[in-house]
Amino acid sequence: MPELPEVEVSRLGISPHLIGQRIQAIMVRQVQLRWPIPGEVQYAVGREIRDVRRRAKYLLIDTDVGSLILHLGMSGSLRVVDIDTPVQKHDHVDIQLHNGKCLRFNDPRRFGACLWQAAGETPIELLERLGPEPLTDAFDGRRLYELSRNKTLAVKNFIMDNQIVVGVGNIYASESLFMAGVDPRKAAGKVTKGAYEKLAAAIKQVLAHAIQQGGTTLKDFTQADGNPGYFAQELQVYGRAGEPCRVCENPVQSLTIGQRNSFYCKKCQR
């Protein structure tokens, strides 16, 4: 599943091709994605794209009347192509532009989304309950500490809760906890304020580095130019069960936390 860095890399890739362009047509070939594509998306036709933003893992294509909201789901990808580029299997939505280009949304598993947010209205429920962005000043160790008091769930699950902070997916949660030296199994309410300060800083550093490197290399994700990300080759613990820790050389451990594969070092993480 594309995580926050992959979505941000996708935003950075498509933005220069979209901003300032007028939407000529929106072609929907498959209306049934994770949620049915609403007819209101056609309100964007004829409007100029003012900005391309990201909120958590959602991409918002802004016009004066509202925003198209895209989510890549488990296997979605976005490509900027010529309008007459032959359609491939699972190309479900085309946002066609007046300059002859189009933003093409491909989603083999159909867990993605294409929704509409009218300008000036209350944010749709999917966006309204989201926590702060991890790379902003609104997110810090104090927030993690205060919201975690008396929480018995594992700290890894805690930081993956989008109401606490958005965009810390499974891969980057494991990497951030390793960098901060925090055991992913530890109860969130037992983590000290100092450890949360380190963890918040680690989350920011890991995500920023991933964005810079182009996102994690996942077989289901491709950037707007078709090139995969390169961050996977630098992962410290994720996917490295049984291999030596890069710090202490003890074997990396794996276990399931919250039905997700988790990786950590028993010696380095307390």
| CB burial readout 140-158, b (16+ within 10 A) else e | bbebbbebbeebeebbbbb
Catalytic pick among 22, 50, 198, 260: 260
Catalytic pick among 54, 57, 101, 104: 57
User: Among candidates 164, 263, 167, 253, which has minimal Cα distance to 206?
Assistant: 167
Q: Could you give phi then psi for residue 249, rounded to 5 degrees?
A: 75, 5
User: Is 234 a residue of the active site?
Assistant: no
Please, which residues have CB within 8 angstroms of residue 134's CB and are 6 or more apart in sequence? 4, 165, 166, 167, 168, 203, 204, 207
The strand pairing partners of 255, in sequence order, are 262
- Secondary structure percentages of the chain, helix, strand, coil, to 5: 30, 25, 45
Tokens of residue 71, six digits: 């989510």
Catalytic pick among 2, 5, 134, 184: 2
User: Is 260 a residue of the active site?
Assistant: yes
Q: Crossing angle of helices 193-213/141-148, nearest 10°?
A: 130
User: Is 193 a residue of the active site?
Assistant: no
Please, which residues have CB within 8 angstroms of residue 125's CB and are 6 or more apart in sequence? none
Catalytic pick among 3, 6, 8, 175: 3
CA dist list (Å): 81 to 19, 59, 76, 98, 113: 15, 18, 16, 13, 20
| CB burial readout 93-123, b (16+ within 10 A) else e | bbbbbeeebbbbbbbeebebbbbbbeeeeee
User: Is 57 a residue of the active site?
Assistant: yes
- The reply, when asked if residue 109 is annotated as ligand binding, is yes
- The reply, when asked if residue 186 is annotated as ligand binding, is no
- The reply, when asked if residue 151 is annotated as ligand binding, is yes
Tokens of residue 44, six digits: 């964007």
Q: Catalytic amino acids? A: 2-3, 57, 260
Binding site, by residue number, is: 90, 109, 151
Residues making up the annotated binding site for DNA are 90, 109, 151
